[in-house]
């Protein structure tokens, strides 16, 4: 684990699986405003722990967006998705998310020292 976010999302460094992208396709890169660091290398991966199931998060490609558009608009299918609510209008990037995490830590530490 290289870095972690709220909502159990982790930036990890993959060791091994040298042919992973040949089998599953190019993963792309995650922008510094999302990951909190640069450069994003081939060995980096974004992992989410969703109710105990570990999932790799990959950036959406134009073809992914086109597929979703076709599903929803052309074929009138409802889209299913899962939101981890990490980014919001008030927390649009990694820096603002981590500012809130740091504020929460300081608040908890202050409460702990007052109560005890």
CA distance 79 to 69: 9
Where do the structural domains in the chain lie, given as residue ranges?
Answer: 3-83
Residue with tokens 């969703």: 50
Compute CA distances 14 → 45, 46, 53, whole Å.
7, 10, 18
Cis previous bond, 39, omega within 30: yes
Give the pLDDT score at 1: 92
Instruction: For residue 51, give both structure tokens.
Output: 């109710």
Give the pLDDT score at 79: 87
Instruction: Give yes or no for residue 81 having a pLDDT over 90.
Output: no
Q: How many residues does the chain have?
A: 116
Q: How many helices (H) and strands (E) does the chain have?
A: 4, 4
3-26 pLDDT, tens digit per residue, is 888 888 898 998 887 777 788 777
Mean model confidence pLDDT for the chain: 82
**Least reliable range by pLDDT among 6-20, 32-46, 77-91, 101-115:** 101-115
Give yes or no for a contact between 61 and 28, defined as CB atoms under 8 angstroms apart: yes
């Amino acid at each position: 684990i290289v870095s972690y976010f709220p909502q159990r999302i982790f930036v990890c460094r993959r060791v091994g699986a040298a042919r992973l992208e040949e089998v599953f396709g190019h993963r792309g890169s995650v922008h510094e405003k999302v990951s909190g660091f640069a450069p994003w290398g081939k060995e980096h991966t974004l992992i989410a722990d969703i109710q105990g199931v570990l999932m790799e998060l990959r950036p959406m490609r134009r073809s992914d967006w086109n597929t979703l558009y076709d599903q929803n608009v052309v074929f009138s299918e409802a889209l299913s998705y899962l939101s981890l609510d990490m980014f919001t209008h008030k927390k649009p990037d990694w820096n603002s998310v981590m500012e809130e995490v740091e504020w929460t830590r300081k608040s908890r530490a202050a409460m702990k020292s007052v109560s005890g």
